[in-house]
Amino acid sequence: MKPFAYVKPADVAGAVRAVSGEPGAKFLGGGTNLVDLMREGVERPDTVVDVTGLPLDTIDELPGGGLRIGALVRNGTLTADERVRARYPVLSQALLAGASAQLRNMATVGGNLLQRTRCPYFYDHAAACNKREPGGGCDALGGLNRSHAVLGVSGSCIAAHPSDMCVALAALDAVIEVESVRGTRRIPMTGFHRLPGDTPEIETELAPDELVTAVELPSAPFAARSRYRKVRDRASYAFALVSVAAALEVRDGAVTAVRLALGGVGAKPWRAHEAERILLGGPAGEESFTRAAEAELAGADVRPGNAFKVHLARATVVATLRELNTGEGTA
Amino acid sequence: MTTKYAETEQRQAAVKHVGRPVDRVDGRAKTTGEARYAAEHRHPGMAHAALVHATVARGRIESLDTEAARAVPGVIEVLTHENAPPMKPAPKRSLLNLSSLASGTTVSYLGTDEVHWNGQPVAVVVAETPEAARHAATLVRVTYRELPAVVDFAAEEPNAVQQKGSMIQPAGGDKGDAAVALAAAPVSVDLRFTTPPHHHNAIEPHATVAVWDGDHLTVHESTQHIAWLRRHLALRFGIPERAIRVLSPYVGGGFGGKYAVWAGTLLAVLAARATARPVRLALTREAVHRTVGARTPTVQRVALGADAGGDLTALIHTSVAMTSRIGGMPEGVVSPSRHLYDAATIHLRQRLVRLDLLANTSMRAPGDSVGSFALESAMDELACELGMDPVELRMRNEPARNPMDGKPFSHRMLREAYEVGAERFGWRERDPGAGSMRDGRWLVGMGVATAYHPSMVMPAAVTVRMDAGGEVVVRCALQEIGVGAATVQAQIAADELGVPLEAVRVEIGDSELPEGPGAGGSAQTASGAEGVLAACRKLKESALALARRSPDSPLRGRRLDDLEARDGGLHHGGDGETYAAILARAGRDHLEAGGRTGMLKFLARALNDRRRWVKAACGAHFCEVRVDQDTGEVRVSRWLGVFDIGRVINAKTAAAQLRGGIVMGIGMALSEASQVDPRTGRIMNPSLAEYHVPVHADVPPIDVQWLDVPDPTMPLGLLGIGEVGITGVAAAVANAVRHATGKRVADLPITLDKLL
Amino acid sequence: MRVNGAVESLDVQPWVSLLDALRDRLGVTGPKKGCDQGACGACTVLADGVRINACLALAVQYDGREITTVEGLASGEELHPLQAAFIRHDGLQCGYCTPGQLCSAVAMLAEHRAGMPSAVTERSGELTEAEIRERMSGNLCRCGAYNGIVDAIRDVAAQEAR
């Protein structure tokens, strides 16, 4: 990897000062994505600001029943937190479905939010990639695109967002707290990631000098009945072809609360607002689940390699909602 | 183990080591981190090399800018075709010198501005640290004049040409008129199959540490063939073989990928010579994919005709595979169809396309693994058409002699394997209806397929030395790629000499040792065994000759064939003498014996053997899969393999080899494929994150059994077990998926999108 | 940094990974390099008892930490129970993934004892075969010694439970 300066500030103020006015600086958390990309030469920071010494590694209660998760809480720690497992099982399950135990022990919540795509053309310097080199073109469009996104894509990028955690956070209406020398601000999770449009290299609303300090989960009692279902090419340790984060509350056969988000199919973690709109207040059942899934996927923009994802996503949404509705098949 | 096996074990357990589940002799070294692999050898002043890969499939290098790379602190040299010392060309392939097959490609690396595949090394950076080398390699700027390249295997299929066969490897054959018979058959199937390229992906990436001392070269290497590598390096660098020492005591997996000599090895040696420094070149995972050949993709047609009772009247199996313009091995894709079924007519053809891709190479059971997928899937489909049990269909068509030429089988107990397997697996509980078995959201299916892999023996030179204290050292340059090479030969030597296993030490992995066979073709154990048996016999003869000189010896007047080697000596009934006593009386501190087979003698014997027999390991796979009703995810939930593999030397390592083959077969069935961009010829998943080998969660408990009946024509009666395990596996999975879902997936891997 | 109980003072550039620092600078070659991308688990070591992929860790980030590699599992000549069980159950072939499997298994048992869940965790909390397989899925074995590895871990877990 390209040589870089390394600093390890002890507090948040020091960390954000270290990147202020330094466009070549990057925050480093667990390193599971950034170190890999640096070794591949995709990321080439001049300065690496190691934030793992910052006191942002606690999970705290919020007034009203939510949780505030420090940005440096390791994914593994988060999966095991009893409050998360009881109140937001979808989040614990999403994290456990991702990567391996070793990687979860390293990866931080903040880093996971900023995880970059697995598009093979993004990784390969011999290929054209607008995300890696803006304006360079996109070899995935007419290439091997089985793993690519079908929702929210553009003519310049069809890369899928790879995170499992983010899909659960999108479903849970999480809020991202960020800090810079200009102060603190809060960004709703559903607005945190950007669609590629003409600028696929810009992936989030985060300014280059802003540090993610925490993720807040608002109180969501119905989320106690939530589930993450991940479909992939092997039984474990693989990125999602399709994943579904869902929470469902049904009373007297009618949907009284629902949250739905999709992974593996979106250019960003995909909150299925349209499907939720159709489901809410209507009957809970195979027919409505299918209709909702189809409506959400109606706008899919597919290529030969990834057209199957529309069918797979529909089937996975329906199956996940069915399980939540009937309580079956939690294994 | 079957009952038969268990009895054998009990009877022999008291004195014999062969057949027992002995722990690996290197288990401790491998579990404590003590075992050192190629890249882990350090030499004073050692520099580190990294490769720069071409980014076009075919062309000429127009310009090379190495300035930025040279400016990286620690960079010693950037070698390109403009400044690298020359290497001699790769030798022409000849069956009289099998080591000529060691060339991975025919390319003169850094000796030409020509680019022959997307990924070919075009520069090597040598630096003081691996980090500097790797970073500098990213800064080398190369421009190319691109030339038209043929890289799309699927698109080239119509241009395939008939493969030329040889006596060793026929490329086709006919028995009767299969086309006519197929047309007339009352029941038939005609299917087209495709298999993608597969990469070995041994967990240890290829690595070389090259050290020149004048014109003497030492190479620490991860290789499956020490002797070939040494001979090849001698040819390419113009030095005598005796000036080269190859050390390869531990190989972190091979599977065929470390059999030939690939660019990294040659370039490490070249870089060491050019920089006058010891050089380590440990390939990155990406570089393994870009510079080490893979298994060819295939397109196959299998058409089967049968009468209403299920007797095969026609078997047609044709294939298209690839080689490269710069090398590659034509695979015997239709090979299983030469041996498995007693069809009245047979038509076999292999065709090839030549591509501007990296040369293909052998990977675990070349030909048989992919060929068995097609043939055994088609047999299953025919069983469906006939409404017949697929085991019954196979048994109905089990041949008494080799179907193509009527030669006798040296050994074939496939029928017994199926009988044992069907009983143990509970095959009769299978409801034959597609989609008839369920478990919650899972559709359950059960499938079978036949495993088959030819057996052979290669020459091996072995010496055995015994000292007065009873310590035995067996020496042969075998390769330990995970099969337990030293362990099994120690067991064989211990039994043959009648000494305790602990008394035997086996030295392997060093070209200074007597020349061994390669670790390939499932032949290393049998080949080594033949050498060990011969050397041990000579040693016993020497001991007996010494004993007979003494009037006091109870062995006086005895012939070796009358004696039993046990308890550390030679015995005849109650009479006998220990080796220690014989040596002591003769005033000798040791005995040593050994021998080697010349290549011509070996070839003559091999050809003669081939004329007389068809010999192979075979087996029956039984598997159960679960397919998610909504998503099409496939999980293998149960596996049984019953094998006819002749005598088993070590019940523990043999089971491991067979299971390992099945695990790799499960990967082949469900998830493995190298993805080549058809526009550029570039492999787009050169990583373990995106090339999906099976993980723990993909692999159920695998029950392996063997019949344990020695083959009369092989050393110790063993048939070789490294490859037979993978053959038939993908078909067994596909057949189980067919049973679970009613869908015949003929294109590997069986990913869920093919089941939606 | 402490490596297997010994204090190691090391001056490395910040772009040197923990894995390369161990293997190339300290000569601790038990941790293996299989992919250098966090995709195989061969480099698994324990950092203060927690399993991590040393290839994706920068050595500087682990300043002052306690690193345990496969070389640190045995007590002198006495093998760690898992090492002995791997040999007994033949949970290895070529041996290259073995150090990573072993370190991973040591930490995995500790994680399970500490109540950390996995993707297949049932309420009972029992360490079933499915649990072991899921929890060990970050360690690839291309030789396919998975059955032996799982048997070895089950054996040791059962010994511990007694």
Question: pLDDT tens across B649-677, in order?
Answer: 999 999 999 999 999 999 999 999 999 99
B234 touches chain C (CB under 8 A): no
Report the distance separating Cα B365 and Cα B520, nearest Å: 9
The answer for residues whose C-beta is within 8 angstroms of residue B710's C-beta and 6 or more apart is B646, B647, B716, B717, B718
Tally of structural domains, chain C:
2
Residue B6 confidence (pLDDT) above 90: no
Q: Which pLDDT score is estimated for B140? A: 98
Assess whether C102 and C126 both reside in one domain.
Answer: yes
Which secondary structure element, helix H or strand E, spans residue B612, and what is its range? helix B599-612
Report the distance separating Cα A139 and Cα B480, nearest Å: 42
The dihedral through the CA atoms of C1, C114, C95, B13 has a sign that is positive
Assess whether C68 and C86 both reside in one domain.
Answer: no
Classified as helix, coil or strand, B192 is strand
Torsion of CA B66, B68, B69, B72, to 10 degrees: 150
Report the distance separating Cα B520 and Cα B364, nearest Å: 8
Q: Which pLDDT score is estimated for A328? A: 56
**Strands of chain A, DSSP E:** 5-7, 25-28, 47-50, 59-61, 67-70, 175-180, 183-188, 211-217, 226-231, 242-251, 254-263, 270-271
- Search chain A and give the residue with CA nearest C139: A100
Assess whether C66 and C107 both reside in one domain.
Answer: no
Q: Which CATH class is domain B38-148+204-252+258-291?
A: alpha beta
Assess whether C36 and C64 both reside in one domain.
Answer: yes
Q: Which pLDDT score is estimated for B92? A: 86
Q: Which pLDDT score is estimated for C124? A: 73
Residues of B within 8 A of A103 (CB-CB) are none
User: Per the CB < 8 Å rule, is C70 touching B30?
Assistant: no
Q: Would you state the structure tokens that stand for residue C30, as one six-digit string?
A: 């038990």
A82 in Cβ contact with A89 (< 8 Å): no
Question: So what's the ipTM on this one?
Answer: 0.98
A44-48, B7-11, B237-241: least confidently modelled range:
B7-11
Assess whether C132 and C99 both reside in one domain.
Answer: yes
Report the distance separating Cα C112 and Cα C131, nearest Å: 9
Q: Which pLDDT score is estimated for B1? A: 32
Top residue of A100, A164, A165, A239 to mutate, by most chain C CBs within 10 Å, is A100
What would the pLDDT profile of B81-135 be if each residue is shown by its tens digit? 999 999 999 988 877 777 788 999 999 999 999 999 999 999 999 999 999 999 9
- Search chain A and give the residue with CA nearest C45: A102
Residues of B within 8 A of A122 (CB-CB) are none
Residue A126 confidence (pLDDT) above 80: yes
What would the pLDDT profile of A290-321 be if each residue is shown by its tens digit? 999 999 999 999 999 999 999 999 999 999 99
A85 touches chain C (CB under 8 A): yes
Domains B38-148+204-252+258-291 and B156-198+295-456+609-754 share a fold: no
User: Per the CB < 8 Å rule, is C144 touching B203?
Assistant: no
Q: Which residue has the tokens 């399993």?
A: C51
Assess whether C11 and C51 both reside in one domain.
Answer: yes
Reply yes or no on whether B723 is catalytic.
yes
Nearest Cα to Cα of residue A133 among A101, A156, A102: A156
Report the distance separating Cα A259 and Cα B72, nearest Å: 52
C126 touches chain A (CB under 8 A): no
Q: What is the share, in percent, of chain C residues with pLDDT greater than 70?
A: 100
Assess whether C154 and C90 both reside in one domain.
Answer: yes
DSSP state letters, B405-462? T-PPBS---HHHHHHHHHHHHTGGG---STT-EEETTEEEEEEEEEEEEE-------E
pLDDT band at B78 (very low <50, low <70, confident <90, very high): very high
Residue B182 confidence (pLDDT) above 90: yes
Residues of B within 8 A of A147 (CB-CB) are 690
Q: Which of B32, B42, B130 is closest, CB to CB, to C20?
A: B130
Nearest Cα to Cα of residue A300 among A255, A248, A260, A242: A242
Residue B231 confidence (pLDDT) above 70: yes
Residue A193 confidence (pLDDT) above 60: yes
B24 in Cβ contact with B653 (< 8 Å): yes
Task: Provide the mean pLDDT of chain C.
Answer: 96
Nearest Cα to Cα of residue B227 among B605, B531, B576: B531
The answer for residues whose C-beta is within 8 angstroms of residue B340's C-beta and 6 or more apart is B375, B399, B403, B450, B452
User: How would you classify the pairing of strands B472-475 and B504-507?
Assistant: parallel
B738 in Cβ contact with B635 (< 8 Å): no
Helix axes B485-497, B524-549, angle to 10 degrees: 30
What would the pLDDT profile of B515-560 be if each residue is shown by its tens digit? 999 999 999 999 999 999 999 999 999 999 999 999 989 998 899 9
Which secondary structure element, helix H or strand E, spans residue B290, and what is its range? helix B285-291
Q: Would you state the structure tokens that stand for residue C15, as one six-digit string?
A: 């772009």
DSSP assigned state of C24: I
Report the distance separating Cα B392 and Cα C4, nearest Å: 59
What would the pLDDT profile of B267-276 be if each residue is shown by its tens digit? 999 999 999 9
The answer for residues whose C-beta is within 8 angstroms of residue A318's C-beta and 6 or more apart is A286, A289, A290, A293, B630
What would the pLDDT profile of A16-31 be if each residue is shown by its tens digit? 999 999 999 999 999 9
Does CATH number 3.30.365.10 belong to domain B460-471+483-506+517-596?
yes
Q: Would you state the structure tokens that stand for residue A219, as one six-digit string?
A: 């109180």
Q: Which amino acid is at B68?
A: A
Q: Which of A48, A103, A106 is closest, CB to CB, to C14?
A: A48
Neighbours of B578 (CB within 10 A): 17
Residue C86 confidence (pLDDT) above 70: yes
Assess whether C113 and C56 both reside in one domain.
Answer: no
Residue B169 confidence (pLDDT) above 90: no
Residue B248 confidence (pLDDT) above 50: yes
User: Per the CB < 8 Å rule, is A99 touching C138?
Assistant: yes
User: Per the CB < 8 Å rule, is B753 touching A308?
Assistant: yes
The dihedral through the CA atoms of B37, B40, B44, B48 has a sign that is positive
Report the distance separating Cα B413 and Cα B409, nearest Å: 10
Full domain range(s) for residue C132: 81-161
B252 in Cβ contact with B509 (< 8 Å): no
Residues of B within 8 A of C149 (CB-CB) are 696
Task: Provide the mean pLDDT of chain B.
Answer: 95
Listed as own residue / partner, the contacts of A122-128 with beta carbons closer than 8 Å and 24 or more positions apart are: A122/A42, A122/A159, A123/A40, A123/A42, A123/B687, A124/B682, A124/B684, A125/A41, A125/B55, A125/B138, A126/B53, A126/B55, A126/B118, A126/B680, A126/B682, A127/B682, A127/B684
Helix axes C98-113, C81-88, angle to 10 degrees: 120
Neighbours of B542 (CB within 10 A): 16
C121: CATH:
1.10.150.120
Q: What is the mean pLDDT of residues B176-203?
A: 98
Q: Would you state the structure tokens that stand for residue A61, as one six-digit string?
A: 């209660």
B509 touches chain A (CB under 8 A): no
Q: Which pLDDT score is estimated for B12? A: 41
Residues of B within 8 A of A144 (CB-CB) are 675, 677, 684
Q: Phi, psi at residue B589, to the nearest 5°? A: -95, -10
Residue B402 confidence (pLDDT) above 90: yes
CA distance A77 to chain B (A): 22
C111 touches chain A (CB under 8 A): yes
What would the pLDDT profile of B706-720 be if each residue is shown by its tens digit? 999 999 999 999 999
Nearest Cα to Cα of residue B301 among B362, B404, B371: B371
A5 in Cβ contact with A28 (< 8 Å): no
Q: Which of A143, A233, A315 is closest, CB to CB, to B679?
A: A143
Taking the CA atoms of chain A, what radius of gyration do you get in angstroms? 19
C60: CATH:
3.10.20.30
C124 touches chain A (CB under 8 A): no
DSSP state letters, C43-71? TEEEETTEEEEGGGSBGGGGTT-EEE-GG
Which A residues, 39 through 78, put their C-beta within 8 Å of a C-beta on chain C?
A: 39, 48, 50, 52, 76
Strand ranges across the sheet with B702-706: B437-439, B442-454, B616-628, B634-644, B702-706
Q: Which pLDDT score is estimated for B309? A: 97
Report the distance separating Cα B631 and Cα A232, nearest Å: 10
Report the distance separating Cα B335 and Cα B168, nearest Å: 12
The vertex-A238 CA angle with A233 and A239, nearest 5°, equals 95
Q: Which residue has the tokens 């030549």?
A: B354
> Domain B156-198+295-456+609-754 belongs to what topology?
Aldehyde Oxidoreductase; domain 4 (3.30.365)
DSSP assigned state of B289: H
Distance of CA B696 to the CA centre of its chain: 22
Residue B57 confidence (pLDDT) above 60: yes
Catalogue all structural domains in chain A, each as residue range(s) with its CATH number: 5-53 (3.30.43.10), 227-326 (3.30.390.50)
C30 touches chain B (CB under 8 A): yes
Span between the terminal Cα atoms of chain C, in Å? 35
Residue B15 confidence (pLDDT) above 80: no
> Which sequence spans correspond to the domains of chain B?
38-148+204-252+258-291, 156-198+295-456+609-754, 460-471+483-506+517-596
Q: Which residue has the tokens 């570039």?
A: B682
Q: Which of B440, B675, B680 is closest, CB to CB, to A329?
A: B440
Residue B493 confidence (pLDDT) above 70: yes
Q: What is the share, in percent, of chain B residues with pLDDT greater than 70?
A: 98
Assess whether C95 and C135 both reside in one domain.
Answer: yes
DSSP assigned state of B531: H
Nearest Cα to Cα of residue B348 among B474, B477, B180, B170: B170
Assess whether C67 and C114 both reside in one domain.
Answer: no
The answer for residues whose C-beta is within 8 angstroms of residue C128's C-beta and 6 or more apart is C122
